[in-house]
Every structure is written in structure tokens, then in C-alpha cells.
Amino acid sequence: MTFAATIGMRRPTIEVRIGELSVGSMHAIRVQSMTTTNTMDTLATIEQTIRMINAGCELVRITAPSIREAKNLQNIRDGLHERGYHTPLVADIHFTPNAAEVAARIVEKVRINPGNFADKKQFAVVEYDDASYAAELDRIRTRFVPLVRICKEYGTAMRIGTNHGSLSDRIVNRYGDNPTGMVESALEFLRIAEDEGYHNIVLSMKSSNPVVMVQAYRLLAHRLTEEHLKPYPLHLGVTEAGDGDDGRIKSAAGIGTLLEDGLGDTIRVSLTEEPEAEVPVAAALAHRHRNVFQTSLHPSLGFHRRVTTHVASIGGDNVPRLFVDVSNEKVNNYNDLSSLGHVYDSLSDKWVMRDQAAEFVYVGASPLPFMAPGGIRQVVDFPAWVNVPDKLFCVPLFTKEQYLAEGTHHSVMNVISCSAKDLTDDLMTAVGSDHTAVLLLHGNDSSWYSNVRSAFHRLEDNGVHTPVVVRYNPYAADADEFLLNASSDVGGIFIDGYGNGIMIGRHVALPLGILQATRTRMTKTEYVSCPSCGRTMFDLQETTSLIRSHTDHLKSVKIGVMGCIVNGPGEMADADYGYVGSGPERITLYKGQTIVKRNVPTAEAVTELIKIIKDDGRWIDRE
């Protein structure tokens, strides 16, 4: 099943009014963020909001965990107006319908989470028959309708925002802890709102896993059409993306993929940094995709990894491999490979291969002047390869013309470099019958993603199972833009299950970061950390940095660092271990979804977390 995109236009939606701001339809993609201050600290919240607005934030979300905070939104709003700032405010609601009803009379928009608006997650296993499930929906209607009617009366907008990690037990038991459950969670509330004739709604499907997030949004768009519901605007975001490059890579991969689909009308990049630092990242993504329209690419509603043949260590069931390009560099000695993850130890006269290391090195016409490390293959331009004396671990790189004309091939692996437009029928026929062929595929700079994605579709349509290494051409105004561009373009390819290898110039950390973000290859510790808000019980940025400094050598371990119990066990749903604020200076530690230690003093919590990892047998000492 595929989500059928409309050729030549961005997904059309209804227009939603949030104060004086219009969202959806053909309006610009709007950028928003969320305050991290205590909502009861009126002055601090006003000043942070102003910093966010000055950075380009068009919507400011503020947590309202109780009626007390909801009422104080009036003071914050009045204070902003007195200073000449009229940017719409959004009240963020969890667990407290009565707080939402207060906030809806004050601010321009309320955000509710259907997973915890009328439910509390107990991780209970309950079987519902149709009658008992209908009774549950009646209970939700009773809790939700008063808010809907207030929003109608006051002209307040609403976001029905599903989070993958906080689906209700009811939804999980009936539909599953998956994109289907996420969509159904929102649709239950949406149908109630439509029954009340209320349509000033934005929808979201957030997850800390970009693959889940992308599939959920695509499915949502499909279901709205299938059920003849209105095409509501979509708010995009990857929750708990983390900080630094990792957070930006993960966010760009998820958000960028959907924007390329033509989906998305407002976005937020959730980083464990100050909220004003999120805004330029979101703005850059919005700007880059401002003229992107839906295509006929028909993205799949479910994740399906492309089936490929096994060539050497590429394709088949292998994880995607890392290629690097050093063809324009002078590689004269062992030390020149250290930045590629291969370190020579002169004392033992041995190579050490790190977890983050290239397996294939493209050397152009100049093979390495020394014995290469074990575990890598050199990729050599065909004319030079012909004269290489030892060809076992040196494989040729052909142009399309060379490959089709030449009869001299490597017995194990032959790499054919081609652009998407050069993927012609004769080339597909040739590589399709050659079990040693690997394609090194690239696209045009300005339309790389659509070029490469179309090429994969042509391979599938023609039944060609040749492994493909995607080659991204490094182009951008600066390093920050390059990181976002590459993460968005290449990330989208791997999110859809395409690609058996990756080459982004001579970069190592960036392509491996993209593979990690898209859950196709794990080479380092992953941190699921929330962006902080007024509910946070500790200094999230400092704590995340501290935990990272002790644990960032633990390959393939995922640690959730969550500021409060609202965004705790749910939002870190697939983390191996969790560090969750449970009260002032108190931390609850998890193994998976199971609480291991409650109310640990903050000063002792990192040490206790490490002990849990050690007791679980997953700790290793640093080299």
C-alpha cells in the first residue's frame, strides 16, 4: 500500500487560524518551539519567549501542567503584549483536561495529547470487545467535548498531538504500539471534534524514531483521505532528538523526508539546547523545502527494506557499508587513515579498526602506497585497477560506458558509478544479471533526493536486486547547511529502506550518524533526551552532557534522559535504560520500561545508572 501523492502540488489542507497566524493551505511552513522555563516564573518565561520570537519563532508553546500554570498564561500573554509582542501562544496539556479548558480561554491554541488527555498509562494488558471499547470512547467524549466547545466559542485552535511513547493502554492493546496505533489515537479525538462541527485543528504524529514518525504521518494523511475527513494541517517533529549534530541529523532525516513528500505545514526541531537554538534549524529546513511539491514517488505506508543480492560484504542482510572518497587527497602513510577510523599501532605493528570506520576507500587512480588495513577494500578507477598487481582487495570502479564495453571484471565485486539519469534499461539489464555488480548512485545537486529515489523505483519496477551505494555530493553554503541537507536527502533514502552503502565525500561521522538516525546501522551510543520545558526536574543539558561523558563509548546502547514523568517512560519507549526526573532533585531509573530504582538523589543518579548497565552485562571499559 502506498500513500498516493498528488503530482505537482504540496498536499492541500484546510486553513487553520491561530490568532492572526494562518497555518496550512498554501501558507508558508511555520516554525515553532517551546519554552523551558517554569511557567509560574512569569518574567523568565516572557523574556525567553521574546528571545525565541527574535530568533524567528512564529508560535511559542508553554507547558500548563495544572490549572495554576494555565491561569498564569494570562499574565505571560499580557506581559508580552505590553512589550509589543503578539506571537500566538500554545498551551501544552498533559493529563489535565481542566487546565486545557482554562488555557483555551486565554491563549490562541491548546495542544492535547490523546494518549494522556483522558487516560493514564499503566502498561496494562486489557482485552476489549466492541461494547467495552465503545464505552471507553463514550468516556473520552465526555471528557473531551467541553474543551472542544470552549475552543469553538473562543476561536481557539487545537493541536491533537500523538506521541509514540505515550499511547494509551487502550490504543496499544487494540491497535498496537506502532504507527497504526498512533494514527488511531488521534482519529478517535478528531472524529469527536468533527461531530461537534469543530475543525480549527492541526495534527501531529511524533516519535523519537524517525522511521516510525515518517510512517505514522504518511499513514495519517492516507487515513484522512480514506475516511473522507478534512485534510488538516500537519505539525512535524522528531521528539527527544538530542543535542548537537546527532539531534540535527535525526530531526532533518525525519522532517526533511516528510517535507519532500509534500507533507508538513508547521515544524519544531526538538533539541536538548536552549529553545532559541532550535529555531534556526527549523527555519533552515522550512526554507529549503519551501518550494518542494509532492511528486509521483508514492512513498510506502510501511517500512520495507529493499531486497538485494549479496556482493562481498554489501547487500543481502548486511548493514549499510561506509565508503569514503580520498581520491583528491595525498595518502602517503598509515597515519593518513586514522581519521577514517583505521589506526596503526606502531608498537604492535597492527591496525586497529574502530566501530566508526570506513570499510571501502575510493582512491581514484592512485592505490594506497602501503598495505591497507585488514577489513577494507580499495576502490580504484578501472584504468588504474587493470595494472594493480594484487587485485584481491582492490576492486574496480567503472563508468557506465566502461562497464558495458569491458570484458575484464573483478571476480567478486565490480562498482559502477552512474547518475540517476544514466540508469538506463541496458545498464539495468547488465547489472541485474551480474552477481558481482554494485551501483554507486548519485543525483543532481539541486534535485538529488527525487533523482535518487526515482532511480530506486525504476530498479524495483524492473526487478533489479543489485546493491546500491548512494553517493551524496557535498554542496552547501556552510557546514551547518550541508549537515541538514545531507541528513534530509540521504536520510530519506534510508528511512524508506533503500541503500546498501553510503558515501558523502571523505566524511565518516556524518554518514554513520545518518545511518544511526534511520535505524539502519548502530555504531555508537544513542541518547533520547527531551528538549526540556517548564516541567523539567533538573538541568537537562548539563545532565545529558554528564551522562554522555561517562557512556558515549557503549556501542548500540540507547539511553533515555527525560526531564519529567510526563515525557518519561513513554517518550523513551525503545530506550535500553532511562534516567527520568520524578521530583525536585530526585531521579527514577529504568531498564527498558521497568523501574529499577525510584527517587534516587540527583547527585548519585549517574553512578547508579552506570551500576544498572554493569549489572545488566552491557558495560565495557574504555579502550
- Residue 213 one-letter amino acid: M
- Supply the pTM of this predicted model: 0.87
- Residue 129 one-letter amino acid: D
Pairing of strands 89-93, 59-63: parallel
Q: Which residues of the chain have pLDDT under 70?
A: 1-9, 121-125, 241, 291-301, 474, 529-541, 564-573, 622-623
Domains located in the chain, CATH noted: 15-288 (3.20.20.20), 310-517 (3.20.20), 526-615 (3.30.413.10)
Contact 562, 581 (CB under 8 A): yes
C-alpha cell at 543: 545532565
Contact 471, 477 (CB under 8 A): no
Note the Cα 196 to chain centre separation in Å.
34
Write the CA distances from 536 to 63, 580, 585, integer angstroms.
10, 9, 10
Strand partners, 157: 109
C-alpha cell at 606: 549517574
Query: Tens digit of pLDDT for each residue in 27-64?
Result: 999 999 999 999 999 999 999 999 999 999 999 999 99
Residues ≥6 apart with Cβ < 8 Å to 221: 3, 11, 231, 234, 263
Task: Give the pLDDT of residue 47.
Answer: 98
Report, in angstroms and rounded to the nearest whole number, the Rg of the chain calculated over CA atoms: 26
- What's the rounded Cα separation, in Å, for the pair 169 and 128? 11
Strand partners, 439: 416, 468
Contact 571, 560 (CB under 8 A): yes
Residues ≥6 apart with Cβ < 8 Å to 434: 409, 414, 466
Task: Give the pLDDT of residue 296.
Answer: 40
- Dihedral sign, Cα of residue 244, residue 250, residue 251, residue 256: positive
Q: What is the 3-state secondary structure (H, E, C) of 574-615?
A: CCCEEEEEEECCEEEEEECCEEEEEEEEHHHHHHHHHHHHHH
Label residue 476 exposed, middle or buried (CB < 10 Å: 0-12, 13-18, 19+): middle
- What's the rounded Cα separation, in Å, for the pair 212 and 204? 13
Task: Give the pLDDT of residue 300.
Answer: 65
- What's the rounded Cα separation, in Å, for the pair 263 and 231? 11
Burial 8-44 (b: 16+ CB within 10 A, else e): eebbebeebbbbebbbbeeeebbbbbbbbbbbeebeb
Phi-psi category of 375—alpha, beta or left, where left has phi over 0 and alpha has psi -120 to 50?
Answer: left
Task: Give the pLDDT of residue 618.
Answer: 86
Task: Give the pLDDT of residue 530.
Answer: 64
- Cβ neighbours around 419 below 10 Å, total: 15
- Cβ neighbours around 228 below 10 Å, total: 6
Element counts in the chain: helices (H) and strands (E): 17, 27
Residues ≥6 apart with Cβ < 8 Å to 189: 112, 114, 117, 140, 144, 160
- What's the rounded Cα separation, in Å, for the pair 488 and 212? 16
